[in-house]
Amino acid sequence: MHCYFNGAIMPVEQASVNINDLGLLRGYGLFDYFRTYNGVPFQWDGYWARFVRSAEVLHLRVPLTQAQTAEILTELHRLSGQPDVAFRFVLTGGYSPDSVSVVEPNWLIIAENLPKDNPEGRVRGIKVLPFEFVRDLPELKSTNYLHMIRLAAEMKSQGAADLLYYKDGEVSELTRSNFFIFKGDTLVTADKNILHGITRKVVLELAEKEFKVEVRPMLVSELEEADEAFTTSTTKWVMPVVQIGRQIVGDGKPGPRTLKLLAQFEALVNGYGK
């Protein structure tokens, strides 16, 4: 696989950053991740718009236009020799003379093999662990994924696939995906303290055709009343959540409404770009 780094395309193994990069020294960086279906980057306009907004929050100049970036994606895809690929963006504060000042951002675009999509999780559902936390600048897809990595062993020991963040009585999101519950035919998802996921947006559009949709603060106390729950992300699609800590959701199996949304999303991506 190849990557793009500050103007050049090179094999991933040959790419490296100097040690005065502010992403490395100070965690000053943005992240994004998306993939192609049928060779076409899925919802590329949405990912790009979010990336540009995030860069503005960090006062980082995006070095290329969307059209220039699209050309690079095409070339990285071609070099992969694969029908479909994933792309990882990392935009950092760049090399700093004093480990504080931003001079010029560093921009990495990495082509990767498609993620393992955990088909078993989609069939059986996953368990998540409640964790009291709210991300700093939650609308920003920063490179800060401290808890996800720090608590990986704890999750594994409890048979859990992820953390469910809550704070001050409200549920927000998982470490890198959005969270939904069904109460009867009403679908609820948080409106704030979340990353505005592209898959979340697509799933909400699908759901609005059949269900009552409420985008509003989700209370921790509502979790007990949930008939179904699921999470959405670029890699997870619509992934049923069947256990939250010790609490079983519904009957402990992926719910029918969740599976319906999953089937609709799967049909959408399978036909994407065709």
Query: Which of 6, 80, 118, 143: binder of its own copies (CB under 8 A)?
Result: 143
Options 5-13, 77-85, 180-188, 230-238: segment touching its own copies (CB under 8 A): 5-13
Residues near its own copies (CB under 8 A), total: 46
Residue 133 or 211 having the CB closest to its own copies = 133
User: Is the alpha carbon torsion for 264, 270, 273, 274 positive or negative?
Assistant: negative
Q: Can you tell me which of 65, 66, 68, 101 binds its own copies, judged by CB under 8 A?
A: 101
| Cα 272 → chain centroid | 19
Q: Does 229 help bind its own copies (rule: CB under 8 A)? A: no
d(CA 66, CA 55): 13
d(CA 96, CA 27): 13
Among 63, 82, 84, 88, binds its own copies (CB under 8 A): 88
Enumerate residues 6+ apart whose C-beta is below 8 A from 76.
Answer: 1, 2, 3, 4, 9, 85, 87, 109, 111
Assess contact for 234 and 114: CB atoms under 8 A: no
Tokens 């306009």 belong to 45
CA distances from 60 to 9, 22, 29, 54 (A): 22, 12, 9, 9
Note whether 1 binds its own copies by CB under 8 A.
no
What is the closest distance, in whole angstroms, from the C-beta atom of residue 4 to its own copies in the complex? 11
Backbone angles phi, psi at 52, to 5 degrees: -65, -40
Is residue 157 within the footprint of its own copies (CB under 8 A)? no
Contact between 193 and 172 under an 8 Å Cβ cutoff? The reply is: yes
Site string for its own copies, 20-49 (x = CB under 8 A): xxxxxxxxxx-x------------------
**Residues 120-139 close enough to bind its own copies by CB under 8 A:** 133, 136-137
Nearer Cβ to its own copies (18/74): 18
Tokens of residue 22, six digits = 């502010």
> Which C-beta is closer to its own copies: that of 111 or that of 187?
111
CB within 8 A of 170, min separation 6: which ones? 190, 193, 217, 218, 219, 220
Q: Which of 1, 9, 58, 70 binds its own copies (CB under 8 A)?
A: 58
Is residue 102 part of the contact set for its own copies (CB under 8 A)? yes
In what helix (H) or strand (E) does residue 257 lie, and over which residues does it extend? helix 256-270
Considering only 1, 9, 15, 114, the residue that binds its own copies (CB under 8 A) is 15
Residues in contact with its own copies by the rule CB under 8 A: 3, 5, 12-13, 15-29, 31, 57-59, 88, 90, 92-93, 99-102, 108, 110, 133, 136-137, 142-146, 148-150, 152-153
